[in-house]
Amino acid sequence: MSQTASRRIMQVLAGERLWPPPVWMMRQAGRYLPEYRATRSKRVNFLEFCYDVELATEVTLQPIRRYGFDASILFSDIFVVPDALGYPVRFEEGRGPVLEPLSDKLVGNLDQKRAVGHLDPVIEIVSRLRRELPEEVTLLGFCGAPWTVACYSVAGHTTQEQTAARIGAYRNPELMQAFIDQLVTASIDYLVRQLKAGADAVQIFDTWAGVLDDAGFRRWSIAPTRAIVDGVRAAVPGAKIIGFPKASAARLADYIAGTGVDAVGLDWTVPGALARDVQKLVPVQGNLDPMRLVAGGQALEEGVDQVLATLGQGPLIFNLGHGVTPDADPDNVARMIERVRQAPDPLQAS
């Protein structure tokens, strides 16, 4: 067995059921850690921080050193792809990403060749991480799903339930399609380069998939993701890809069939019975409510136990149902990992 195949998360992505299940957290490198905040203070501009090979490598490794997670996920941001294409992006304190409102002119000026060189530092970070991570730790790359990235472009920022993006897609589907197509092309190249640089698997984050109606979900979430999956596997046969269509519980089976992903992330609202049905189709990842990490104590213990009781009999990667929040207690993260790793195997119970 190759070193890559022997990594525990890669075994689960291949369909194996392991006990205890491997564990990592979305946004595990972030503001809840004091060491992250200290490193982050060295760069005022967030995008520059994402492209800084030394600093981004350091913060990616910090949670591995502290907690010994089974996977390390590249520290970056979904908006490096439109930024690399030449789409104006900036981050404002207290507001997050701000993009220039979508227009034919902006889409027409996007430059795939520019994206390649612009993302070179991120690919170097991936290479550096694979060299510095412990051999047994899975390295995950990622990108934002085109729909989620595009959501921030119509109004120039996020809006409640992404109403601006939905209206924009209804009124001018040709413009939305043109932008989505550019993002698909760039995302394929980006993920392929991550995999060739040392990532073991990649995840596609579709945080805003759940705001779409059925037709929109098929066109703007499933179809672009399928194109990315097919494009990546054409260049890297057998590439393992995790999809995370947040707030899409009732559509997960359609998403799996339509996209061809190897595993799906479950947010914390996915009902247990449905989650078990999904697990019969592909390995699952999730789905502890991140607020239980904030609350701690009994709420955290009960949440961990419930995820393990619900999904522990099949292929499971223990994770949160979304990213860890800045107000999470680092000690609670340690308690979560300890409880997962010390939990009795439900298949061995008398």
- Find the catalytic residue in 7, 8, 27, 128: 27
Do 265 and 244 form a contact (C-beta atoms < 8 A)?
A: yes
Spatial CA neighbour of 242 closest among 226, 221, 210, 265: 265
At 160, the pLDDT band (50, 70, 90 cuts) reads confident
Least confident of 97-106, 155-164, 214-223, 277-286: 155-164
- Find the catalytic residue in 152, 189, 206, 255: 152
DSSP assigned state of 18: -
pLDDT in the model for residue 1: 47
Residues 121, 73, 18: CA angle, nearest 5 degrees: 150
233 is catalytic: no
29 marked as binding residue: yes
For 117, list phi and psi in degrees, rounded to 5: -65, -35
Beta bridge partners of 241: 202
Question: pLDDT tens for residues 2-48?
Answer: 567 789 999 999 999 999 999 999 999 999 999 999 999 998 799 99
Question: pLDDT tens for residues 293-347?
Answer: 999 999 999 999 999 999 999 999 999 999 999 999 999 999 999 999 999 999 9
327 is catalytic: no
77 marked as binding residue: yes
Do 249 and 270 form a contact (C-beta atoms < 8 A)?
A: yes
Question: pLDDT tens for residues 205-243?
Answer: 999 999 999 999 999 999 999 999 999 999 999 999 999
27 marked as binding residue: yes
Residue 288 scores a pLDDT above 50: yes
Mean pLDDT of 258-264: 98
Q: Which domains does the chain have, with CATH numbers?
A: 3-348 (3.20.20.210)
276 is catalytic: no
120 is catalytic: no
**Which pTM value belongs to this model?**
0.96
Mean pLDDT of 121-139: 98
- Find the catalytic residue in 31, 130, 233, 341: 31
- Find the catalytic residue in 40, 43, 90, 114: 40
